[in-house]
Amino acid sequence: MTKYPKFVQLKNREQVMIRLMVPDDEKKLLEFFKNVPEDDRLVLRNDTTDPEVIKRWANEIDYDKVFPVIAEHRGEIVGDATLHMKQYGWQRHIGEIRIVIAKEFRGKGLGKVMIHELLEKAAGVGLQHIQLSFVETQVREIKIFERMGFQKIATLPKYVMDVTGQEHDLIIMTTRVSDIWKKLEEIIQSTEIDIIRGIQ
């Protein structure tokens, strides 16, 4: 964790700082999620506009259970990505990734960089598989992860309900850490994204 923060120059030449989330990020994180488009918030697992939800996340950070990485641009959070890990049981070799990127920073390579950070952590702690969950309306996100090498392994019809009460199919995707790590390195190198430096 001493490698953070690090600075990344995206495809549009904007520079973003990647670092771990800390308790002092509570206010910035709440503002970030309030600015996430409503359509995106409909399918999030928590009400991220609720200050108590963000307060709990900020005050209960445990990097061994949830590894939270944020992207910051000009003092504002523009990306939030987390790797969820189980310490015991038959799924302890499986990590789950969740990611939200500010609308104006989508399509610029930031999401790939943040996933790369989480995969590096996953490999470092010995995780073998990464799992993602989407609803069927998240077509763009599903295609992006398919291009990175994730595969759909299950579709559960009408399995989840958004905040309006509408039911959606749940789509589960997965990949092996060893497979996706190599492919994502190649993708980042081919898309003019430059990881400039880290501060030790």
Cα 47 to Cα 126: distance, rounded to the nearest angstrom: 31
pLDDT at position 187 is 63
User: What does the pLDDT look like over 97-124, one tens digit per residue?
Assistant: 999 999 999 888 899 889 988 988 998 8
pLDDT at position 26 is 95
Q: Specify if 155 maps to a domain.
A: no
Q: What is the CATH number of the domain that holds 98?
A: 3.40.630.30
Q: Specify if 115 maps to a domain.
A: yes
Which residues lie below 8 Å from residue 105, measured CB to CB, with a gap of 6+?
Answer: 10, 14, 16, 71, 73, 78, 79
pLDDT at position 66 is 95
Cα 169 to Cα 174: distance, rounded to the nearest angstrom: 17
Q: Specify if 165 maps to a domain.
A: no
Strand order through the sheet with 15-20: 151-161, 167-176, 129-135, 94-101, 76-85, 66-73, 15-20, 6-9, 194-198
Domain span at 45 = 6-131+178-198
Share of the chain above pLDDT 70, in %: 89
User: What does the pLDDT look like over 38-90, one tens digit per residue?
Assistant: 777 777 778 888 899 999 999 999 999 999 999 999 999 999 999 999 888 88
Cα 81 to Cα 7: distance, rounded to the nearest angstrom: 16
Q: Specify if 83 maps to a domain.
A: yes
Number of domains the chain is built from: 1
For residue 98, the cross-strand partners are 82
CB 7 within 8 A of CB 17: yes
